[in-house]
Amino acid sequence: MQTGPEADEPCLRADAARNRARLLEAAARLIAEHGVAGVTMEAVAAAANVGKGTVFRRFGDRTGLLTALLDHSAKRLQADFLSGPPPLGPGSPPLERLRAFGTAVLHRTAEQLDLQLAAQPEPTRRFTHPAFGSLHMHTTVLLRQIVPGADCELLAHTLLASLDPALIHHLTRQRGMPMERLEAGWLDLVARVTGTDRPR
Amino acid sequence: MQTGPEADEPCLRADAARNRARLLEAAARLIAEHGVAGVTMEAVAAAANVGKGTVFRRFGDRTGLLTALLDHSAKRLQADFLSGPPPLGPGSPPLERLRAFGTAVLHRTAEQLDLQLAAQPEPTRRFTHPAFGSLHMHTTVLLRQIVPGADCELLAHTLLASLDPALIHHLTRQRGMPMERLEAGWLDLVARVTGTDRPR
């Protein structure tokens, strides 16, 4: 199991790792300012003040860069819910952690909506992607503590499906729903699925 | 609102409509026997005993044929839940109709899994497709009768997400779950979301 953001790259030299982080931060800034369309290899190189060749050597192509950006953010979220402060991390009751988890995923997805949509895997790989596996495992583990008798593996899929980037895109951009309604919907869904009270 | 399988094509001449139905039935047989890969324009023409040109004139290309096949089946399902016999159609209490609806969608999806996966729209169009709109409207209308105080539009999305073809593919083919478990999962989810008892 992963324990930190860079646990899969133990051999990356420190300066290369710093370089990589700088490029990813530059790419994230470009997306925040200009949307996903603003992220070109050239723009990232310019924003990070390195040569274009460095960006290509590090990420291969634009898809590789966008994928690395999502992986980076997914590992941060994973670190937050596995070992960060409560209520998302350990220390809060599982029901509170589950509520905080969905709210955190909702906000992360809303912030990265274009990026996540652009990187959506094929239908046959949506649920085998390691980042999804980590979210599903965490949700299942929390559910097993809240509703031990239930089919928690299936219920976790249902809960996560309500946080699907394509659905969030549809609800917020195509149906014009405010994020507050989606957050309230998550808390209501958790209450219904677990048979618990809504938070005050 | 659509009232029957062919309501959007009132001007189609009767012989052309019969011809079209024959081609779609031939394509459905080919899929049942050889999977989606077995459906070529040539194979459909041969199976329906018509010239290849007829298939191309009717459907344009292979994607057009597969789309027409899914539309045809979606309209049949729609006719079943709007005006077919209970418990799927009118006449049963809304809770029983909702249970039957999910079971029917699960089975239809399992039967057409390759076809539905091949025809999955882009992430930004998954929820604006007319066939999805019809399923969502029906689910919302039933939920409003069962849990009038809830955000039924959002809950309908959650219920339908648990019937997503890509998820059913993952659970049955990649995780090896039997359909019985998915059916039980649907009935359990409906009970949890609506706060009702599971069926005996």
CA atoms within 13 A on the CB side of A21: 11
> Is B66 among the domain residues?
no
Residue-level pLDDT at A151: 98
> Is B24 among the domain residues?
no
Residue A12 has pLDDT above 80, yes or no: no
Percentage of chain A exceeding pLDDT 90 = 68
Q: In a mutagenesis test of the B interface, which of A36, A128, A139, A158 is the best target, namely the one with the most B β-carbons within 10 Å?
A: A158
Please enumerate in sequence order all residues whose Cβ is within 8 A of that of B86, keeping only pairs 6 or more positions apart, or say none.
B92, B96, B97, B100
Q: In a mutagenesis test of the B interface, which of A167, A168, A198 is the best target, namely the one with the most B β-carbons within 10 Å?
A: A167
Same domain, A84 and A53: no
Same domain, A38 and A21: yes
**Which of B151, B159, B156 lies closest to B186, judged by CA?**
B159
Same domain, A43 and A103: no
> Is B145 among the domain residues?
yes
Average the pLDDT over A177-197 and give the result.
Answer: 98
Q: Are A112 and A168 in contact (CB under 8 A)?
A: no
> Is B63 among the domain residues?
no
Residue-level pLDDT at B1: 43
Same domain, A55 and A69: no
Same domain, A53 and A66: no
B46 to chain A, any CB pair closer than 8 A? The answer is no
Same domain, A66 and A56: no
**Which of A165, A159, A166 lies closest to A185, judged by CA?**
A159
Q: What are phi and psi of A146, to 5 degrees?
A: -95, -45
Same domain, A101 and A153: yes
Q: How many domains does chain A have?
A: 2
Q: What is the mean pLDDT of chain A?
A: 91
Q: Where are the beta strands (DSSP E) in chain A?
A: none
> Is B183 among the domain residues?
yes
Same domain, A81 and A139: yes
Which residues, numbered 159 to 178 in chain B, qualify as contacts with chain A under a Cβ-Cβ cut-off of 8 Å?
161-162, 164-167, 169-171, 174
- Partner residue facing B167 (CB), from A157, A165, A166: A157
Last residue of a domain, one of A60, A81, A96: A60
Which residues, numbered 90 to 129 in chain B, qualify as contacts with chain A under a Cβ-Cβ cut-off of 8 Å?
117, 120, 123-124, 126-128
> Is B149 among the domain residues?
yes
CB contact under 8 A, B161 and A184: no
> Is A4 among the domain residues?
no
Same domain, A80 and A176: yes
CB contact under 8 A, B189 and A126: no
Same domain, A92 and A108: yes
Domain that residue A165 falls in: 62-194
CA distance B52 to B44: 8
State the CATH number of the domain containing residue A85.
1.10.357.10
Residue A9 has pLDDT above 60, yes or no: no
Residue-level pLDDT at B6: 47
Last residue of a domain, one of A60, A86, A102: A60
pLDDT tens over chain B, length 200 residues: 444 444 455 556 788 888 888 899 899 888 888 888 888 999 999 999 999 999 999 999 988 998 899 998 899 999 999 999 999 999 999 999 999 999 999 999 998 898 898 888 888 999 999 899 999 999 999 999 999 999 999 999 999 999 999 999 999 999 999 999 999 999 999 999 999 999 87
Same domain, A54 and A71: no
In angstroms, the Cα distances linking A155 to A18, A96, B25 are 40, 17, 37
Q: Which ipTM score applies to this complex?
A: 0.86
Residue-level pLDDT at B10: 56
Query: What is the per-residue pLDDT across A16-72, written as a single tens digit (0 to 9) for each?
Result: 888 888 899 899 888 888 888 888 999 999 999 999 999 999 999 988 998 899 998
Same domain, A70 and A162: yes
Percentage of chain A exceeding pLDDT 70 = 94
> Is A148 among the domain residues?
yes
CA distance A106 to B117: 26
